Amino acid sequence: SIVSLKPLPPFSTGELQRSLLENCFSISTYLVRWRTECRLKGLKSPFLIPSCRNSYKKNICIDMLRQGYHKSFSELFTLIQKWNALREAAGPGSAIWQQESLEEQPDKLDQLYHFLTRAEAAQRAGNYEEVYNNQLNLAYCFNDSEDKWLRNYFYEQCFNTAQLIKIDGGKKEAQAHANMGLISEEQGDIMKAVEHYEAFYELTLGSTWTDETGRTYNSLACEHLWKTYTVLADKMLEDKQYQQVIKTLKKALKMAKEGGDMKMEGEAAYCLGLAYHFAGEEQAAIPVRKVAETVTHLEEFVKVAENAHLSRSLVDACILLGNLCNERGHYNEAFEYFSRAFEAANTLSSLPLVDETKTYYGIARAHKMMVAVNSHTEAADLVSMRYLLAWKESRSDVCADPLTAGEALVMKHISRLKEESSFNQFCSPSCEGHSQCLQ
């Protein structure tokens, strides 16, 4: 509402002065109320009317200095200068150039004023937990993409403060390491992220600390390490550092198992199996030990994928296992894996994938049949040759097992010969109807 000013009648000098003071006080009271409603800093007293002519930033800075918060003033001033430097470095046309300056955003200045002064007061009292909490609240305030530099700054302040807290068993320090790991990960410094996440993991071993969702800090540490180890191994794979890749992925699998997430564990096992496979291919001859380890980890993943209904992952793993078995001459096992891959592919709406697995399935079936064919060929006896000839002459069951199909056809042929032999005992070849009798 608009302030109602009293009219100025022709009073005496004393009355006029009193009336002016009343009007002045009325305006001051209104401005104080307006400051409270709009969260405007700088008007702590009804007699500080001139401050309304200052900028928002200047009023806050004056207020900090008046109350003795010199450290908060210095920190706020430094942050504003840093923002301006970042803006100038980015130049016109950049995203930060289009944004308002930090000193022109009252809401952010309010947050900085509130938590910086509280943190400074707590620091004077030696209450470092309270200092940490206020710095962490500031980090949470600036979580938008354009404010991440502010968030990162306060996460770093939290990390420094956490080193001074000795009464919580390392909980704040663990949390600070997790946040610093997040910053390093976002900036692409994976090695630094691993260092922080490993420290986070060590500090949470045996603890029951949980976050706001009820999840334990230790399981979070395991997930972060699994993720960063996998990313690190992927970078090593580009440089063909296969032994380092395997070593790193073993750590990732260990973290995944400790984290207790089956999906995470399955993916870790799958990645490790792939690493063994690539390492073997690079050496041109796959060592038996490496193949065995590859198969072991891939089979672990297959179980997890089946339980979690990860059909696409199941297809990939079964195809890889089938190929490994084919390379080793284990055609029956390869046939089983390709069959499972084909069945899983049919549950997905991907015709190219179905066609691919169908091809693998057909090749595996042919290889499986060749086992029996080769065994008869190598035997090279009369019975085996008859089996093979009978099987090849049959066009009604080409995909049948050569052993069973050939045996059935040979037995049928022998039975027919026996019938003819029995008939010849009662009918001589000179019989006029012999040809008809044979039919």
Q: For residues 350 and 317, is the Cβ–Cβ distance under 8 A?
A: no
> In the structure, what pLDDT confidence band is assigned to residue 16 with cuts at 50, 70 and 90?
very low
> In the structure, what pLDDT confidence band is assigned to residue 97 with cuts at 50, 70 and 90?
confident
Residue 210 bridge partners (DSSP): 216
User: 126-168: per-residue pLDDT in tens?
Assistant: 999 999 999 999 999 998 888 899 999 999 999 999 999 989 9
What φ, ψ does residue 216 adopt, rounded to 5°?
Answer: -75, 150
CA distance linking residue 82 with residue 75, whole number of Å:
10
Residue 210, helix vs strand vs coil: strand
Q: Is-above-0.75 flag for pTM? A: no
Q: For residues 333 and 308, is the Cβ–Cβ distance under 8 A?
A: no
Q: What is the mean pLDDT of residues 262-284?
A: 73
> In the structure, what pLDDT confidence band is assigned to residue 439 with cuts at 50, 70 and 90?
very low
- Computed over every residue of the chain, the mean pLDDT equals 78
Which tokens go with 162?
């956490």
Residue 17 and residue 118 in one domain: no
In sign, the C-alpha dihedral spanning 410, 411, 415, 421 is positive
Residue 67 and residue 163 in one domain: yes
Q: How many CB atoms lie within 10 A of CB 24?
A: 13
pLDDT at 15 > cutoff 70: no
Residue 75 and residue 19 in one domain: no
Domain of residue 415 covers: 380-425
**Distant-in-sequence contacts of 13-16, Cβ < 8 A, 24+ apart:** none
Residue 216 bridge partners (DSSP): 210
Q: How many CB atoms lie within 10 A of CB 196?
A: 23
Instruction: Decide if 246 is inside a domain.
Output: no
User: 210-230: per-residue pLDDT in tens?
Assistant: 998 999 999 999 999 999 999
Residue 65 and residue 161 in one domain: yes
> In the structure, what pLDDT confidence band is assigned to residue 285 with cuts at 50, 70 and 90?
very low
> In the structure, what pLDDT confidence band is assigned to residue 280 with cuts at 50, 70 and 90?
low
Domain boundary among 53, 71, 95: 53
In degrees, rounded to 5, the angle at the alpha carbon of residue 111 between the alpha carbons of residues 105 and 116 is 125
DSSP string across 294-355: HHHHHHHHHHHHHHTT-HHHHHHHHHHHHHHHHHTT-HHHHHHHHHHHHHHHTTSS-HHHHH
pLDDT at 4 > cutoff 50: no
Q: For residues 3 and 27, is the Cβ–Cβ distance under 8 A?
A: yes
Instruction: Decide if 284 is inside a domain.
Output: no
CA distance linking residue 159 with residue 136, whole number of Å:
10
pLDDT at 434 > cutoff 80: no
Residue 82 and residue 154 in one domain: yes
* Highest-pLDDT range among 66-70, 271-275, 314-318: 66-70
Helix spans in 171-287 (H): 171-186, 190-204, 217-238, 242-259, 262-282
Instruction: Decide if 10 is inside a domain.
Output: yes
Residue 89 and residue 140 in one domain: yes
* Top-confidence residue, 408 or 203: 203
Instruction: Decide if 276 is inside a domain.
Output: no
Instruction: Decide if 161 is inside a domain.
Output: yes
The confidence score (pLDDT) of residue 248 equals: 94
> In the structure, what pLDDT confidence band is assigned to residue 263 with cuts at 50, 70 and 90?
confident
Domain boundary among 36, 53, 70: 53
Domain boundary among 167, 186, 208: 167
Q: Using alpha carbons, select from 344, 341, 325, 323 the residue that is nearest to residue 333.
A: 325
The confidence score (pLDDT) of residue 24 equals: 52
DSSP string across 94-107: SHHHHSPPGGG-HH
The DSSP letter of residue 428 is -
Residue 70 and residue 135 in one domain: yes
CA distance linking residue 200 with residue 277, whole number of Å:
32
Count how many domains the chain has.
Answer: 3
Instruction: Decide if 72 is inside a domain.
Output: yes
Determine the residue type at 150. L
Residue 2 and residue 26 in one domain: yes
> In the structure, what pLDDT confidence band is assigned to residue 14 with cuts at 50, 70 and 90?
low
* Highest-pLDDT range among 117-131, 255-269, 389-403: 117-131
pLDDT at 73 > cutoff 70: yes
Q: For residues 282 and 301, is the Cβ–Cβ distance under 8 A?
A: no
